[in-house]
């Protein structure tokens, strides 16, 4: 079984639930993430997504959530490590969520522990008025300090960076 992903039609239906959250710019990076995953030509049989709000981009996947809005598989505070997840996943998905967590290096170690691959999107070089804002000036060097490995693939899309990682060999 390989993963299936949401479509633009699925996404447009979600706009009825929360118009402010589901704007077209969000679909633009979600679509890019889906394309990156598909372009790897790796058959991912299962995945887990952190912080999926009301929906997951992969259909029939496990989720980690603290809000309990997306019927999560794991209801937990992802800031608390080690994670209690014992299963190993083919793919970890974290879209615009990692920057909100506290101990990023420990969390990245947990991501590497529970998955063989990961796709992560983050705000890229946002120059926030408040330099303590979690979105402020995240770049390749900052991300490397969290993961301690280079991504296999990077795509910069407007003000977001999308990294694809392989952990199987690390």
Q: What is the mean pLDDT of the chain?
A: 89
C-alpha–C-alpha distance, residues 101 and 77, integer Å: 9
pLDDT value at position 82? 96
Instruction: Specify the CATH number for the domain of residue 162.
Output: 3.40.50.150
Q: What percent of the chain has pLDDT over 70?
A: 92
**Residue 163 backbone phi and psi in degrees, to 5:** -115, 140
Each residue's pLDDT tens digit, 101-149: 999 999 999 999 999 999 999 999 999 999 889 999 999 999 999 999 9
Radius of gyration, CA atoms only, the chain:
15
Range(s) of the domain holding residue 30: 4-166
Total number of domains in the chain: 1
C-alpha–C-alpha distance, residues 147 and 159, integer Å: 20
Each residue's pLDDT tens digit, 51-74: 877 778 888 787 887 665 667 888
pLDDT value at position 67? 62
Query: Closest Cα partner for 93 from 56, 59, 48, 60?
Result: 48
């Amino acid at each position: 079984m390989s993963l299936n992903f949401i479509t633009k039609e699925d996404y447009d239906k979600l706009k009825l639930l929360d118009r402010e959250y589901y704007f077209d710019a969000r679909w633009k990076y979600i679509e890019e993430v889906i394309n990156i995953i598909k372009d790897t030509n790796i058959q991912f049989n299962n995945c887990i997504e952190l912080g999926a709000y009301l929906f997951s981009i992969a259909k029939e996947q496990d989720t980690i959530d603290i809000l309990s809005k997306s019927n999560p598989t794991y209801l937990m505070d992802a800031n608390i490590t080690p994670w209690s997840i014992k299963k190993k996943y083919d793919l970890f998905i974290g879209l615009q969520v990692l920057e909100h967590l506290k101990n990023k290096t420990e969390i990245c170690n947990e991501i590497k522990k529970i998955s063989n691959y990961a796709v992560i999107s983050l705000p890229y070089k946002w120059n926030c008025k408040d330099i303590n804002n979690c979105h402020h000036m995240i770049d390749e060097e900052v991300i490397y300090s969290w993961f301690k490995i280079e991504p296999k693939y990077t795509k910069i899309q407007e003000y977001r960076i999308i990294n694809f990682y392989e952990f199987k060999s690390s």
